[in-house]
Chain A
Amino acid sequence: DAGITQSPRYKITETGRQVTLMCHQTWSHSYMFWYRQDLGHGLRLIYYSAAADITDKGEVPDGYVVSRSKTENFPLTLESATRSQTSVYFCASKVGVGQGVVEQFFGPGTRLTVL
C-alpha cells in the first residue's frame, strides 16, 4: 500500500535491550522525521533526515540512533532501552523544502513499553 507505514505497531521490551522501530514511505519524500508523543508534551522531534545518509538531531535525541541508507526507510534504534523511553513513536515524511511545501505526513505510530 502507498503511504507511510511503521512496524511494529506495539512493542514491549525490557530495560537495557536494543529495540529498532521501522518506518517506510512509498512517496520518495526527501525528509523523514521521528517524534515521540508523551502526555502533556505533544510531539517532540527526536531526529530528522533531509535525504539518504543525512540526519540531524531534534529536540530529544539522547538514547536514540537513526540511519537512512535508503530514501524510503528511516529506522529508529534505542540502543539500551530505558523506562523513560516508554512512549508512542511517530514517523513522518515531507516532500522537500520550498514555499508552501511544509506539510508532514504521519504514520500510524508505534506504542513502545519498556519494563
Chain B
Amino acid sequence: AQSVTQPDIHITVSEGASLELRCNYSYGATPYLFWYVQSPGQGLQLLLKYFSGDTLVQGIKGFEAEFKRSQSSFNLRKPSVHWSDAAEYFCAVSNTGGFKTIFGAGTRLFVKA
C-alpha cells in the first residue's frame, strides 16, 4: 500500500541550527515527491518537489531535500533555521498524473531563540 511516514511528530531546534526532517515513503512506481509547509491558519505552500533527475532538490526559503531510492526516503534539510521557519511540514507522494497525492501526518517545527 502507498504510504508516507514522517517519524517525528514535532521537532525543536535553536535558531541558526541546522534542520533535518525525515520522510519515508512506500510507493510501487516511480514516485513524485513533495514537501509542503503550513504556517498557522494558512493553507499549504509547496517548498520543493522531485520527480526525476538530480536527487538533491533545491526549494524555496533555503530548503533542500535529497531523494534516496535505496532508503525510500526524501528528507528535508536547511543549514540554518530562522524563527520564521516555525510551521508544520508535510511530506507527500503522488502518482504520475499528480491527482492522487498521499500526505504524511506532518512534523511540527518549533524554533527557540
Binding site for B on A (CB under 8 A): 31, 33, 35, 40-45, 48, 50, 58, 90, 92, 94, 97, 99-104, 106-109
Having A45-B101, A102-B49, A103-B98, one finds 13 other A-B pairs with CB under 8 Å, namely: A31-B99, A33-B101, A41-B105, A42-B6, A45-B100, A48-B100, A90-B44, A92-B44, A101-B98, A102-B34, A102-B98, A104-B101, A108-B41
Which of A45, A101, A106 is close to B44, meaning CB atoms less than 8 Å apart? A106
Residues from chain B with a CB closer than 8 A to the CB of A50 are: 99
Residues from chain A with a CB closer than 8 A to the CB of B42 are: 108-109
Contact present for B45 and A106 (CB under 8 Å): yes
Residue in chain A with minimal CB distance to B91:
A42
Kindly provide the distance from the CB of B67 to the nearest chain A CB, expressed in whole angstroms: 15
Bound: A90/B43 CA distance, A: 7
User: Can you list 26 residue pairs at the A/B interface with Cβ under 8 Å?
Assistant: A31-B98, A33-B99, A33-B101, A35-B103, A42-B103, A42-B104, A42-B105, A44-B103, A48-B99, A48-B100, A50-B99, A58-B100, A94-B99, A97-B97, A97-B98, A97-B99, A102-B32, A102-B49, A102-B51, A102-B98, A103-B34, A103-B98, A104-B46, A104-B98, A106-B44, A108-B42
Bound: A44/B104 CA distance, A: 9
Kindly provide the distance from the CB of A66 to the nearest chain B CB, expressed in whole angstroms: 14
Q: A42-B104, A42-B105, A43-B90 are known contacts. Are A106 and B43 too (CB-CB below 8 A)?
A: yes
Bound: A107/B105 CA distance, A: 19
Residues from chain A with a CB closer than 8 A to the CB of B6 are: 42
Contact present for A100 and B105 (CB under 8 Å): no
Does B24 interact with chain A (Cβ within 8 Å)? Answer: no
Does B94 interact with chain A (Cβ within 8 Å)? Answer: yes
Contact present for B98 and A42 (CB under 8 Å): no
Residue in chain A with minimal CB distance to B4:
A42
